[in-house]
Amino acid sequence: MNRSEYETMMRGAGQRDYEIYLNTERLLACQKEPEALCNPDELQFMIVHQVEELWMKLMATTLLDIHDEMLAGRTLKALTLFRRVHICQEMMTAQLALLETMSPKDYQDIRLLLGNGSGQESPGFRVLLKMPKDLWAAYKAIYLEDGARTLEQVYDSQYSHDAAYMIAEALAEFDEQFQKFRNAHMQLIYRSIGVAANSLKGRPVEILNEGLKQKFFPELWTVRAEMTDRWGGSYGQKRSKLEPKPYA
Ligand code: HEM
Query: Do 109 and 213 belong together in one domain?
Result: yes
Say which residue, 246 or 168, is predicted with more confidence.
168
Strand, helix or coil at 198?
strand
* pLDDT for the residue 231: 83
Query: Do 15 and 58 belong together in one domain?
Result: no
Task: Identify the CATH number of the domain in which residue 119 sits.
Answer: 1.20.58.480
Domain of residue 13, residue span: 1-30
Q: Is the pLDDT of residue 236 over 90?
A: no
Tell whether 200 is covered by a domain: yes
DSSP 225-239: HHHHHHHHHHH-SSP
Query: Do 186 and 68 belong together in one domain?
Result: yes
Nearest CA to ligand 1 atom 19: 119
pTM over 0.85: yes
Show the ligand 1 pocket: residues with CB < 6 angstroms. 48-49, 52, 96, 99, 107, 118-120, 122, 125, 182, 185, 188-189, 192-193, 199, 201, 203, 205, 208, 211
Query: Do 24 and 54 belong together in one domain?
Result: no
Q: Is the pLDDT of residue 248 over 70?
A: no
Q: Is the pLDDT of residue 33 over 90?
A: yes
* pLDDT for the residue 247: 83
Tell whether 202 is covered by a domain: yes
* pLDDT for the residue 202: 80
Tell whether 216 is covered by a domain: yes
Number of domains comprising the chain: 2
Query: Do 116 and 216 belong together in one domain?
Result: yes
User: Would you tell me how many other CB atoms lie within 10 Å of the CB of residue 73?
Assistant: 11
Contact 165, 152 (CB under 8 A): no
Summarised one tens digit per residue, pLDDT across range 185-221 is 999 999 999 988 887 778 787 888 899 999 999 999 9
What pairs with residue 198 in β-bridges? Answer: 204
